[in-house]
Amino acid sequence: GQQLNQSPQSMFIQEGEDVSMNCTSSSIFNTWLWYKQDPGEGPVLLIALYKAGELTSNGRLTAQFGITRKDSFLNISASIPSDVGIYFCAGQLGNSGNTPLVFGKGTRLSVIA
Amino acid sequence: DTGVSQNPRHKITKRGQNVTFRCDPISEHNRLYWYRQTLGQGPEFLTYFQNEAQLEKSRLLSDRFSAERPKGSFSTLEIQRTEQGDSAMYLCASSRAYEQYFGPGTRLTVT
């Protein structure tokens, strides 16, 4: 089946530092989504990307849809303690949004105050 | 605008028992998805409804699993004769277009 590779698997950073994580696939996706999940909760949608090359921001978060449509990147600027959690990328194959998401295994972010 | 809700949040059951979970999607969303998530993994797709029609099922959805969405509103996921390997977080998501919004999940523990 489809697989998304997320890296790094985990990262420890100091509060105030910038964070970068990425997601790659052997398949082309038409939509990329980034989610954050806290322990015991469902994933919360952060950013959605719809076109190759698209760069989208949501507050301190910026994500890009790779030109090849096989990768995506998420950056967090000036990290704060509440950024702690697991970040998942998800790709969608279909053109009309009515297909399931394929998820990576997540990047676990820890922020040291 | 209320989000996706799921009940119960936690369920502990003995192996061999049947369990049923409920998902209430965001009211104007016609698409509803079920996913399963185990420790250290991302969510994995189980099944998908558009309105009341079940349009796609994953190979993960064995014949012990059944899902319904009567009248295209809430959905239920039933697992019959539970096994220890069914222990996981069961997540429901709804959408109107591309963006899927998840509920808080139901954590199932099979003892």
- For B14-35, the pLDDT digits (tens) are 999 999 999 999 998 999 999 9
B-chain residues near A43 (CB < 8 A):
43, 91, 102
Between the two ends of chain B, the Cα-to-Cα distance in Å is 37
Distance from CA of A44 to the nearest CA of B (A): 7
How would you write chain A as a 3-class SS string?
Answer: CCCEEEECCEEEEECCCCEEEEEEECCCCCEEEEEEECCCCCCEEEEEECCCCCEEEECCEEEEECCCCCEEEEEECCCCHHHCEEEEEEEECCCCCCCCEEECCCEEEEEEC
**Chain B contact present for A92, CB below 8 A:** yes
CB A98 to CB B101 under 8 A? Answer: no
The helix or strand, by DSSP H or E, that contains position B54, with its residue range, turns out to be: strand B53-57
Contact A41 B104 (CB under 8 A): yes
- For residue B36, name the pLDDT band (cuts at 50, 70, 90): very high
Nearest to A105 among B40, B55, B107 (CB): B40
| In the predicted structure, residue B1 carries a pLDDT above the cut 80 | no
Is the pLDDT reported for residue A22 higher than 80? yes
Q: pLDDT by residue (tens digit) across A47-92?
A: 999 999 999 999 999 999 999 999 999 999 999 999 999 999 999 9
How confident is the model over B69-73, as a mean pLDDT? 92
pLDDT band at A99, cuts 50/70/90? confident
Q: How much is the pLDDT for A2?
A: 63
C-beta atoms of A88 and B42 within 8 A: yes
